[in-house]
Amino acid sequence: MAQRGIASRSEADRMIEKGWVMVDGRIVVPGDRAAPNAEIRLSNEAEAQLDNAVTVIMNKPRGFTSAADEFGGAPAMSLLTPENYRPNDSSAAPNLMGGGLRVAGRLSTREMGLVIYTTDTALARRLAAADVEESWLIDFRAPPPDGAVALLTQALQGAVNITSDAGNANALLLTTATLGKGILSSICDGQEWRADITRTRRGDISLGDMPVRGWRLLSPSAQGGTSGATA
């Protein structure tokens, strides 16, 4: 189940212990093995548990770490407070303490923008993959340096699309699926460019007009469709 992105190993273990998992038409017990092409079906209770997964998007400020095991700043999860909650409706901020949220696509302390936290194992696996396409805004606070587009294209080995931002003459828009955490900051530092670097999209999920430090729950329809529980 974990390999197929249905649930984490601990979630799968709990579901199996409760008798909620069938493999090839038979209820499995702890220790059972399944063939790679086996049909896995979940009970209604298991599917309801997965359907209750929570996903949060945040506009992380610079100087905050995106995950609890990172160093160099305060954890961005500390910003998940009612004061920073920015829902699309009038709903009250949910209590997410101890909710098992995990980061899906890390962001350097030196970069700002979209960070996604979720309890949805399938979504987390999909968004944490190294080849997920992302969009970035690089704001130089002045017209982009001469040759910036060519240098960025070369540094990212050509697997990138770079355009000017129609709404900001000082910025470039960059779309790529090859970035590691902190790569853009390192490139800018190497060229002595002063720039604000903001991730605006990861996979199908976009930051939108979320203010810095703001966060909200993401509806299932906005997640781009997660993997189903039936194999």
pLDDT score for 98: 55
Q: One-letter amino acid identity for 75?
A: P
**Which CATH architecture does the domain made up of 133-202 adopt?**
2-Layer Sandwich (3.30)
Angle between helices 148-155 and 183-190 (to 10 degrees): 130
Residues of the chain with CATH 3.10.290.10: 9-51
Is the pLDDT at 121 greater than 90, yes or no?
A: no
Q: Which of 102-106, 158-162, 199-203 has the highest mean pLDDT?
A: 199-203
pLDDT score for 195: 96
Closest CA to 23 of 39, 7, 12: 39
Would you call 173 exposed, middle or buried from its count of C-beta atoms within 10 A (0-12, 13-18, 19+)?
A: middle
pLDDT score for 221: 54
For residue 182, what pLDDT band results from cuts at 50, 70 and 90?
very high
Is the pLDDT at 83 greater than 70, yes or no?
A: yes
Q: Residues 210-224: pLDDT tens digits?
A: 999 999 998 765 665
Q: Please tell me the distance from the alpha carbon of residue 122 to that of residue 2, in angstroms, as a whole number.
A: 9
Quick one: what percent of the chain has pLDDT higher than 70?
Answer: 89
Is the pLDDT at 203 greater than 50, yes or no?
A: yes
pLDDT score for 91: 86
Would you call 43 exposed, middle or buried from its count of C-beta atoms within 10 A (0-12, 13-18, 19+)?
A: middle
Mean pLDDT along residues 104-131:
88
Residues of the chain with CATH 3.30.70.580: 53-130+208-226
pLDDT score for 192: 95
Q: Please tell me the distance from the alpha carbon of residue 92 to that of residue 89, in angstroms, as a whole number.
A: 9
For residue 117, what pLDDT band results from cuts at 50, 70 and 90?
very high
**Which CATH architecture does the domain made up of 53-130+208-226 adopt?**
2-Layer Sandwich (3.30)
Structural class in CATH, domain 9-51? alpha beta
Residues in the chain: 231
Closest CA to 60 of 189, 218, 207: 207
